[in-house]
A and B are shown apart, each in its own frame.
Chain A
Amino acid sequence: MLTQAQPVPDDLLVRARAGHAPAFAEIVEAHQGSVFSIAYRMLNNRAQAEDLAQDVFLQLYRKLDAIESLEHLGFWLRRVASNLAIDWLRRLPYTTTQPLDEGAQVAAAATDDDPLMSRELARLLGELAPAARAVMVLRYQEDRDIAEIGTALDMPVNTVKSHIKRSLTALRSRMIGAKLITAEELS
């Protein structure tokens, strides 16, 4: 007996473009975690992150015709979310050291790693400049390669590498300052 074939991924796009609301809802559900996570790591504020993520999906709804495939869709969402967040942060009078919301940390899956260190790292990430923060989020949260990060943020590859190197150095030195790691651990 033949089982009912799962719809091919790109069929979702075709149906969503045709105005099929459940298809678009499926796309939102599939990508909401990634988009919201980028927004939250960039803004450090759940309410603002939700507003930004919603803007991203509304924009996607309007631009569906320009999306070529589900792979392109993922890239497009990451790019728009990152750039919107950078623009958002640049409009704020103070772009750094916003307090980290408690709720989102609870939502992340609990593992056996050091929660204090993870929380401090996430907080220190919020002290980086917007562009550097976006690079780090795409690299270490979304696990994107350097070339894709450069394309998403309209940045030369060498600039991406430079952001990563300088941000890692800054984060390490701040972790040492906070006595969460020792200088010996770095050697």
Chain B
Amino acid sequence: MNPSLSLSAQALKKPQINRARLLRSALPGLSLALLLVAIFIIQPRAISYMGMNLMLNLAVPIALATIAQMLIITVNDLDLSLGSFISFVACVAATLLNEHPLLGCLALLACIAVYALIGALIHTRNLPSIVVTLGMSFIWMGGAVLLLPAPGGSAPHWLQSLVRIKTPWLPFAIIVCIVLALLVHAFLMRSPLGVVLRGAGGNPLAVAKAGWSLLRIKVSLYALAGSFGVLAGLFLVGLTTSADATIALRYTLLSIAGVILGGGEFVGGRVSPIGAVLGALTLVLAGSLLSFMRISPDWQIGAQGAILILVLALRAAVNRLETRPL
């Protein structure tokens, strides 16, 4: 083939690819915007300081959990214990942290250390993360049941007032979500260390050959995920003021769905922190939209599933556009 011809073909093809990529990364934001517009049409008063505050009340812990899950997915693993871990943290915060602050802090630090250890175990023995974290979910659940056999406990007062800060202009929940998304984005997508961490998911062999220790990468990502899990648990118990051993069990599936909605993929370290936070918000707002439409809460989980499928279908269509330019 004539080289100049193939070159021009390539040049023609390039903007097409960029458009597809742009479309794909805009998808999480677009679906959230669509949802907000729908809510505004049905119930205009919801898009106000008070309304947003009410709707997004529980969004922050879910967003934190989604970021934790995303860090694990970065290295192609999956954490099925996240929900029970967050429940355990909530139980620790409502009992130990309240009664013996020092002991409570130590327990939470130990939790993060356990996460780091799991990362090390999964890496050194090359274990499937699904099975190990499924086992861990039982351990966290058991710990939570031991701490709080019946719902109860009380979150420390400083925590309760911290999560209820009234900020001017924008509700606190939105500010936290924006700061969270930007901070993690700056760290994971822009910093040199973040590139290496994502590289460990994309091409572990290359990262290892470049002299990085895969073990240390995995341990630090798991420890980071554990830290975000702890934050999620603390925030959650601050909002609910008391805890229960099953308080956050559904966060496991919600966090996975949030990461996927936000454009994350299961292979190759392709994740997006901003997308993940947007995905978590989408899932939370979907529930509000349903209640504004007077649809029974029975279908709330189903609607989340439907949104997930819809967004994935759109992404599949965009991908097809990329591989087969019109």
The answer to whether A and B belong to the same complex is no
